[in-house]
Amino acid sequence: EPEVTQTPSHQVTQMGQEVILRCVPISNHLYFYWYRQILGQKVEFLVSFYNNEISEKSEIFDDQFSVERPDGSNFTLKIRSTKLEDSAMYFCASSSMPYETVKAYNEQFFGPGTRLTVL
């Protein structure tokens, strides 16, 4: 069964360093998302991406964050200068939404996550 994959599973970095989290969405999906979950807190939306551009971003997704789909399979989240408070589990998700008339069918499938630890 197709699944979303993420690498690495765990990333440790020093404060101020840049990190890139990688995701391979399900192959025929068109919408891509990043969410994060700080330990003990709710899963929070960061950004959605469709047709090679950002569809929506939350207030968390500031200028330090960027997303890219560098090729036909990968979807990346870059944090330019990490802060201690960026430590969290980052989840990538994808969904298939080929037609506006079936927008209610937007079931999102999540990857296993990347645990980011900023020291």
Partner 1 sequence: KQEVTQIPAALSVPEGENLVLNCSFTDSAIYNLQWFRQDPGKGLTSLLLIQSSQREQTSGRLNASLDKSSGRSTLYIAASQPGDSATYLCAVGDSSYKLIFGSGTRLLVRP
Q: Which residues contact partner 1 (rule: CB under 8 A)?
A: 31, 33, 35, 41-45, 48, 55-56, 58, 91, 93, 95, 97, 103-113, 115
Question: 87 or 95, CB closer to partner 1?
Answer: 95
User: Phi/psi at 99 (nearest 5 deg)?
Assistant: -130, 140
**13 with 116: CB under 8 angstroms?**
yes
**4 with 74: CB under 8 angstroms?**
no
- In the complex, minimum distance from the CB of residue 83 to partner 1, in angstroms, rounded to a whole number: 23
Question: 13 or 30, CB closer to partner 1?
Answer: 30
Omega cis (within 30) before 8: yes
- In the complex, minimum distance from the CB of residue 82 to partner 1, in angstroms, rounded to a whole number: 21
